[in-house]
Structure 1
Amino acid sequence: MNADAAGLGRGRAAGFVLPAMVLIGVFLVFPALWTIYLGLTDYRLTGLAAANPRVVGADNYTAALGDERFHRSLWLTMQYVLGSAVLGQAMLGFTIAWMLRDRPGPVKRVTEALVLLAWILPSSVVAFLWIALLDRDEGTLNALLRTPGFAWLLDYPMPSIIVFNIWRGTAFSMMLYGAALENVPPSQLETARLAGASTLQQLRDVVFPSIRGHVLTNLLLISLWTFNDFTTFQITAGGPEGRSEILPVYIYNVALRDGQLGFGAAISFVVLLINLVLAFAYLRLLRRRREAVAQ
């Protein structure tokens, strides 16, 4: 009887898990395996290679690692992630959360609503708004600064998309840090104030030790999201002259605009490996933090 009940329980559990496993297989595992296969071929959108692709082994990966355009795109992506995610969204999100933590009333609600609005709007909408803001001839920013004809997207494409991504993605960091700050014991902050600790000393000695796990989690998520962000294509399309061609835009241009699907798939797999390295590095730091707290 017990064996029958256990078997029935396992069958029910498998029934609940099966739909999720099917979805994972269809939308994650199969595309990943197909991408790996394409990366080993010379598959193209047009020409003979489109009808009869050949297996070229690691040639695509060798070509990608030796491609100066790939190196430039990787360097631009690192600038984009460091500037907009690590130094931008994380710091600004914490600053907003810290300033609003004890501020009840409409000021807090309105500020949070405005920051969240930039995050939840569709990417095509915010891209159009940003183009309208930075337009050379009739842009809002040039009208405010009285600098007609200044081409922000042409002269400063990387700073433009970095500021854009900070503006758009700060909401997540703000919400995560806002929830984390609620778990900081008020008594410890009050004790630090009575002891004469400045705000920076309170942050260093009381706040950050308490929310370090949240900081690492936030950095992991926003770094991966930013590393794979494609929204900037709608603003600069990687230009001018490739000066804002981060890796997702580079892959799109190579695979779809140039028609080199095999080469683009190989680069996609390399990007996946880079994402895994970043994720493992952050997770290792997070595990060390948990082990230190446990001790």
Structure 2
Amino acid sequence: MPAKRRAGHASDSAGLGRMRALGFVAPALVLIAIFLVFPALWSIYIGLTDYTLTGPSSVNPRMVGTGNITGALADPLFGNSLWLTLLFVLFSAVLGQNILGFALAWTLRGAKRWLRRLVEGLVLLAWILPSTVVAYLWIAVLDRDGGTLNALLNTPGIAWLVEYPMASLIVFNMWRGTAFSMLLYSSALAVVPPSQLETARMVGAGTLSTLRDVVFPHIRGHVLTNTLLISLWTANDFTPFLLTAGGPNHASETLPVFIYQQALGSGLLGYASAISFLLLLVNLIVALVYLRLLRRRA
């Protein structure tokens, strides 16, 4: 066998060859190009223009370069949305879903099988239900007049989504998104050696000491992965629009809702596309930071 052919087979475990392997992945690459790469490039192009939904600029948009981005950075509504998005991600995902998901996974670790399955099923139900159904249920719970929460607390007349919009959205997102963290941490805890947990118990280590010295060194990579995923999902979540539509008076207008309002509410498609590009950059920066931390851990 020629040396080149042997080298090609050595680098190809399936023995297909580069051209045949490329033929197998070509359909997937075409779909990615059509549905991901092209829309992203088109959105970046629109963000460099004054393209609008109606009017003369919808027919003949004019190039404005970075004008939309500089306008967004000077827009107080954009700054408000960015701040609310940071709060939403920090308290509902990085802290809320992480802590609650791990607490459920740790608590259910030694529970009876039927109880563990029951709790996991209830938590998963909140995750897999359609967003519109979940939003309707929470509006019913938080309603001013006949809401379930007011009935339980005996506090009639409190409009939770109006008086405490961000707090309501944070609790809602924690309730809905904890399932993923719980499942990931349940799998992660399975890799912790039982002998080390038993040793910690025998020497009288408390729960916090056991978690710090035994559990977290084994699952640190899982914590970083989970934090990355839920942070990105939460930062791009549009479900808050179904509950508050960004109100009252922009008090719960996270970046995805702000982009929607600018694009379809105000018709400023170029401006909204530029903000979408900024959100994409933030997502990429966050992802790169987490990946760097994961490489250090490895």
Kindly provide the CA deviation profile for residues 80-109 of structure 1, in whole angstroms up to 9, marking residues without a partner as x. Answer: 000100110000000000001122321111
* 1:211 has 2:219 as partner: yes
Spell out structure 1 runs of 4+ moving beyond 4 A: 1-8
> Aligned to 1:47, which of 55, 59, 70?
55
Counterparts in 2 of 1:1-295, with a 5 A limit?
9-290=17-298
Once superposed, what is the RMSD of the aligned Cα atoms?
1.5
Return the alpha-carbon distance in structure 2 between the equivalents of residues 140 and 283 of structure 1: 42
**More moved, 96-105 vs 205-214:** 96-105
Determine helix, strand or coil for the equivalent of 2:289: helix
Count of aligned pairs between the two proteins: 290
Kindly provide the CA deviation profile for residues 135-174 of structure 1, in whole angstroms up to 9, marking residues without a partner as x. Answer: 1111111111121211000000000000000000000000
Return the alpha-carbon distance in structure 1 between the equivalents of residues 5 and 289 of structure 2: 45
Instruction: List runs of 5+ in structure 2 lacking aligned partners.
Output: 9-14
User: Partner residue of 1:293?
Assistant: none
Kindly provide the CA deviation profile for residues 27-53 of structure 1, in whole angstroms up to 9, marking residues without a partner as x. Answer: 110011001100000000011101110
Return the alpha-carbon distance in structure 1 between the equivalents of residues 161 and 148 of structure 2: 13
Question: Structure 1: which amino acid aligns with 2:256?
Answer: P
| CA deviation after TM superposition for structure 1 residue 9, in Å | 2.7
Instruction: List runs of 5+ in structure 1 lacking aligned partners.
Output: 291-295
Kindly provide the CA deviation profile for residues 201-228 of structure 1, in whole angstroms up to 9, marking residues without a partner as x. Answer: 0000000001000000000000000000
Question: Structure 2: which amino acid aligns with 1:108?
Answer: R
Determine helix, strand or coil for the equivalent of 1:54: coil
**More moved, 2-11 vs 240-249:** 2-11
**Percent identity (aligned):** 67
Return the alpha-carbon distance in structure 2 between the equivalents of residues 283 and 113 of structure 1: 31
Q: TM-score, normalised by structure 2?
A: 0.95
| CA deviation after TM superposition for structure 1 residue 10, in Å | 2.4
